[in-house]
Chains A and B, each alone.
Chain A
C-alpha cells in the first residue's frame, strides 16, 4: 500500500513537471506567449514612429536606463503611414511628463532595438492610452551608409548612379514601377 503511494506520487510529480516544462517552453520562450508572471498593474502608452527598424514586441522601454515597461504591439497607421507602437508601462512609473519624447535606440553594436524615453518639463503626466507626440525613428544603418556614399560620390564629382535603395526615395521608385509593368 505504502509503496504504491510513493509510486503514484513519483509518477504524478514527474508527469506534472514534464507538462509544466512543455507549457513553459511553448508560452514563455516564444512570441506567442502568455504572460503569467507580469500581471502587475500597468498602463498603456502609444507612440507613432516614421520607422521602427527591427523593433520587436517585448522589447524594453526605458528612461535613464531604467526599464519601465515593454513594447506590447506594433501596428500600422495607414492614414499617416506610420508605425504605431503600443507600450505597457509599469504603474510605479506614473509620472512621465506629457511632453516627453520617445526614441528607438540599439543595444550594443548588433543588439536588438529598445525605446528610450526622455522626460520633458510639463507639469501634467501621461495617462493610460495617451500618445507620446515627440518621437525619433530608428537609426537604420543602410540610410546612413547611403548618405555617406552619396556625399562621397558628390565630392568626387561624379553623378549619383542610385546604388543604394534607401538613399534617395524618389529615384528608385519609378524604376520599380517600370519593372512591374
Chain B
C-alpha cells in the first residue's frame, strides 16, 4: 500500500515536472520574437555555446569519421564493395552520428555551462535583483541563452558531419586505398536531400531540447552550492536520455 502510494507520488511528481518544462518552453517561445531584436545578446550566446564548442566538436568529428572509415572499410571489404564507404560514412554521419554526438557533446560542454551559470545567478540573487529592477530575467537572461543554443546546434552538427566525412575520406582513400572518385560519386548518387534534411531537423529539435533542459534546470535550481551542482548533473543526464529518445522518434517518423 505504501509502495503504491510512493509510486503514485513519484508519477505525479514527474507529471508536474513535465508540465512545468512545457510551460517554460511556451513562455520562452512567446518571448522569443521580442528577444530576437536584441541581436547583440543572442550573438554573445551563440559565441558562448557555439564558437566555444567548436574545438571539441571538430576534434570529435574527425575521430568519429576516422573510426567510421576504418570500421566501414573492414565491413565492406568482406563484400568486396569498399567503394560504398563514402555512402556508408556520409549517411551514418549526416543522419545519426552528426546530430546525436553533437547534441551529447553540446549537453556536456554548453548545457552544463548554461545550467551552472543560471543556477549561480539564482543562488546569488542576481535573478531576483533583476526582477526588483523591473527587468524580466526570462526575457533578458534566459531567452537569449535558449535561442543561442537553438541556433548553434544545427551549425555545430553540420560542421561535425563535414569534418567526419573528411575523416572517413582520410582513412578510406589516403590510407586504405579506396578510389577517391568512387568514394565521392557513389556518395553523391546515394545520398539524397531528404537525408540531409533529416539531419538538420534532428539537430534543430535536439538544440531546442538541450537548451531548454539546460536553462530550465539552471533557472529553477535550488539556490545553494549543492543545488547548482545537482542542476548541472541533471542537465547532462536528462539531456542524454531525451536526445536518444527523440532520436528514435524522429528516425521512425522519417521512415
Q: Which residues of A contact B (CB under 8 A)?
A: 7-8, 10-11, 13-15, 17-19, 21-22, 24-26, 28-33, 56-60, 67, 70, 107-112, 114
Whether B185 and A58, one on each chain, are in contact in the complex, defined by CB atoms closer than 8 angstroms, is: yes
Q: How far is the CA of A32 from the CA of B165 in the complex (A)?
A: 18
Whether B81 and A58, one on each chain, are in contact in the complex, defined by CB atoms closer than 8 angstroms, is: no
Whether B46 and A21, one on each chain, are in contact in the complex, defined by CB atoms closer than 8 angstroms, is: no
Whether B47 and A58, one on each chain, are in contact in the complex, defined by CB atoms closer than 8 angstroms, is: no
> Any chain A CB within 8 A of the CB of B159?
yes
Which label, helix, strand, loop or mixed, suits the secondary structure of the B interface? helix
Whether A111 and B193, one on each chain, are in contact in the complex, defined by CB atoms closer than 8 angstroms, is: no
Q: Which residue of B lies closest to A59 (CB)?
A: B185
Tell whether A13 pairs with B80 under 8 Å between CB atoms, given A7-B44, A25-B199: no
Chain B positions 188-202 with a Cβ under 8 Å from a chain A Cβ: 188-189, 191-193, 195-196, 199-200
Q: Which of A7, A10, A21, A30 contacts B162 (CB 8 A)?
A: A21
A residues in contact with B185, CB < 8 Å = 56, 58-60, 70, 112
A residues in contact with B79, CB < 8 Å = 109-110
> Any chain A CB within 8 A of the CB of B182?
yes
Q: How far is the CA of A21 from the CA of B52 in the complex (A)?
A: 17
Q: Which of A21, A31, A111 contacts B80 (CB 8 A)?
A: A111
Whether A21 and B158, one on each chain, are in contact in the complex, defined by CB atoms closer than 8 angstroms, is: yes
Tell whether A24 pairs with B80 under 8 Å between CB atoms, given A8-B43, A14-B51, A111-B182: no
Which label, helix, strand, loop or mixed, suits the secondary structure of the A interface? mixed
> Any chain A CB within 8 A of the CB of B54?
yes
Q: How far is the CA of A58 from the CA of B44 in the complex (A)?
A: 43
Whether B47 and A7, one on each chain, are in contact in the complex, defined by CB atoms closer than 8 angstroms, is: yes
Q: Which residue of A lies closest to B80 (CB)?
A: A109
Q: Which of A11, A28, A70, A111 contacts B81 (CB 8 A)?
A: A111
B residues in contact with A29, CB < 8 Å = 90, 94, 165, 187-188, 191, 196
Whether B50 and A22, one on each chain, are in contact in the complex, defined by CB atoms closer than 8 angstroms, is: no
Whether B80 and A30, one on each chain, are in contact in the complex, defined by CB atoms closer than 8 angstroms, is: no
Q: How far is the CA of A32 from the CA of B162 in the complex (A)?
A: 17
A residues in contact with B54, CB < 8 Å = 14, 17
* A-contact 0/1 string along B151-190, CB 8 Å cutoff: 0101110110110010000000000000101101111110
* A-contact 0/1 string along B78-115, CB 8 Å cutoff: 01111110000010001000000000000000000000
Q: How far is the CA of A77 from the CA of B35 in the complex (A)?
A: 58
B244 to chain A, nearest CB (A): 23
Q: How far is the CA of A29 from the CA of B93 in the complex (A)?
A: 12
Whether A17 and B192, one on each chain, are in contact in the complex, defined by CB atoms closer than 8 angstroms, is: no
B residues in contact with A108, CB < 8 Å = 80-83
Can you list 12 A-B pairs with a CB-CB distance of less than 8 A? Answer: A11-B51, A14-B155, A15-B50, A17-B155, A18-B158, A21-B155, A21-B161, A30-B196, A57-B188, A58-B184, A108-B82, A110-B84
